[in-house]
Structure 1
Amino acid sequence: MGAVLTQAISFLLVILVGYLFKAGGLLEERDGHTISKIILNLTLPATIIVGFNAVEIDSILIIMISLGLLSNILLVSIGGIIWRKKDTSDQALMMFSQAGYNIGNFTIPFVQGFFPAAIPFIGSFDTGNALMLFGGTPLLADKMLGQNRSSRGAKEVIFRLFRSPSFSTYIVMILLALFQFVIPENVLSVVKLFSSGNAFLSMFMIGLYLDFKIPRVDLTKVAKLLFTRYLLGILLALIFYFLLPLPQLVRISLVLLALAPIGTVSTINMVVYGNKASLSGFLSSMSILLSLILMIGALIFIL
């Protein structure tokens, strides 16, 4: 428990420093875009390579991919049903606020500090999560909303998926695991050098992106969205941990995933479907802070 609290305080401190750097004018939010490129194209793929190296492909990884898909389908459907009598933009807001997890920039760096052995399970779940974020969720939202905003064909969705360095790295590492290819230690030591900066850069970037400016009229709406997301997330976490016949590390991974913050692509889709950027930005910021608190609390309770 002491190690969990120490690591959690470290994460909070890095996020705070990032926010203070922005508030003090030393850095700007746009600097977060530069850091984001470093994370997405370098440190996160390196972390995935280290985590997946020498992993054996088994039924558990297939289950995790399936759960990544099914969780998103379930939650976006529930979101659409809950606000089915609202106007289209509000219904879309509820749907995208419930489905989609920020795994690459938040959950993996968080887990990296506690359970590095869990990264293959987290990454497998994220493979299913990415399939929904980049194509499945907008298609499902269109069907429930009677819209046709997501007109991407299958080829475009696949192309967009493989433009994501993390998704491409997942696929490459899974293929290497299928052929039982293990990256040599002397090569892996270089990759570890890059992966070691992933957690710090991710948390620092989150601090730069935190945004607490929002009109008061939208506060009630945000509160309802977050209450619904985390109520459903806690219920899902309880099901994952107490009902699934999986190893404990896998169940712990699923608990943390169920409590993970809203995915970045989901917040972008909120704006695409007619909602204000300020609202989605504030919603994302509050989701990150709430997820951090709940994930720490879950680890303290479990351990």
Structure 2
Amino acid sequence: MDLWASFSNSGVYLAVLAGGYLLKRAGLFRVQDARFLSAVIMNITLPAAIVKGFAGVELSGVLLLTFVFSFLVSLTLVCTGAVLSHGRPAVERGTTILNTNTFNCGNFAIPFLSGVVSSESFAAMCMFDVGAAIFTYGPNAAVAQRAMGGGKGRGAGLGSVLKKLFTTPTFLVYVAMVALSLLHWELPGFVMNVAVMAGNANSFLAMLCIGILFEVRFPREDRATVARVLAGRYTVCALAAVVLWLWLPVPREVARTLVVMLFAPVASCAPMITIENGCDGTVAAVINSISMVLSITIMTLLLAVLPV
């Protein structure tokens, strides 16, 4: 994709995002509306987009390697959060750990990239999401609570993690599509037609939802924590991107997609998880919004400059 095409494609997504933010400022939308849209996205349009994107994809060593890579990057990030917050107050430690290691794949990276990648690259994005999701729903909280001097953390036990994963429609669809790929089965045409219709709405709804949720706030007293989290996160992701690009044995187009994916924003659920674990939700919301701006910029530039 050439430079102009990359910026043009990104501009469409940014226009929808900006439209959601401006319509919220004008009073047409409220934050509660974004929660409804998020439920539609995570339960209907994103699973449909996954079904659509996985159609005809053969499970390969590349996809399994992508899962392992995602898992290792997530492990490195959660350890980075623990190191960066060493010696800080307990709540600050927990907030740092919980927000250093999450990726907004379903609501941002996958919709942002789905229109410009191949089926194999789309499947690789999904496997990356699976590896990251395992940490988001469990180990992050366990490490944060231990760093704060507490127990395992709310919902951090193995049973709770598995329950969360297997009651999440997106994860169930991932499992189902991987199983179908292994068995070389295809979904009926009617099901695929419905999936295509719903999946086509995913990118628009995701960008609109993010625009409604977006806030520009940067409390002075929290700047050091925010800077520490973002600097640590993007440094690790940049190093992982170099390793991936130079040494991971995957097709160049898949490598390009995953490099861009590494710079996805902090997950939209991170502030809620932060609050659930007794940490600072306000700081988490600030990190979320700033990471959105940084990630949009970085991902757009990478799409423009990285060769296929």
**Shorter-chain TM band:** over 0.9
Counterpart contact for 1:101–1:260, Cα < 8 Å:
yes
Counterpart contact for 1:4–1:299, Cα < 8 Å:
yes
- The DSSP-based 3-state class of the residue aligned with 1:292 is helix
The residue aligned with 2:128 is 125
Corresponding residue pairs, total: 303
Q: Does 1:264 align with 2:271?
A: no
The residue aligned with 1:77 is 79
1:289, 1:8 → 2: CA distance? 13
Matches within 5 A, 1:119-198: 119-150=122-153, 152=155, 153-198=157-202
The residue aligned with 1:201 is 205
From 30, 33, 39, give the equivalent of 2:32.
30
Residue 149 (structure 1) shift: 4.5
Residue 277 (structure 1) shift: 2.3
Select between 22-31 and 218-227 the one with higher mean Cα deviation.
218-227
Q: Which runs of 4+ in 1 moved over 4 A?
A: none
Counterpart contact for 2:63–2:127, Cα < 8 Å:
yes
Q: In structure 2, give the amino acid aligned to 1:297.
A: L
Counterpart contact for 1:89–1:273, Cα < 8 Å:
no
Residue 144 (structure 1) shift: 4.1
The residue aligned with 1:233 is 237
Matches within 5 A, 1:19-98: 19-98=21-100
Counterpart contact for 2:146–2:152, Cα < 8 Å:
no
TM-score (norm 1): 0.94
TM-score (norm 2): 0.93
Alignment CA distance shift 1:43-1:116 (3 Å): farther
1:5, 1:126 → 2: CA distance? 25
1:120, 1:61 → 2: CA distance? 7
- Deviation per residue, 1:251-299 (Å, 9 max, x gap): 1122122111112333323223443322211211111111111011111
**Structure 2: where are the runs of 5+ without partners?**
none
From 11, 14, 28, give the equivalent of 2:13.
11
Q: In structure 2, give the amino acid aligned to 1:125.
A: F
2:34, 2:191 → 1: CA distance? 30
1:11, 1:59 → 2: CA distance? 32
* Identity between Structure 1 and Structure 2 (%): 28
Q: What is the alpha-carbon root mean square deviation over aligned residues?
A: 1.7
**Structure 1: where are the runs of 5+ without partners?**
none
Select between 58-67 and 18-27 the one with higher mean Cα deviation.
58-67
Counterpart contact for 1:99–1:266, Cα < 8 Å:
no
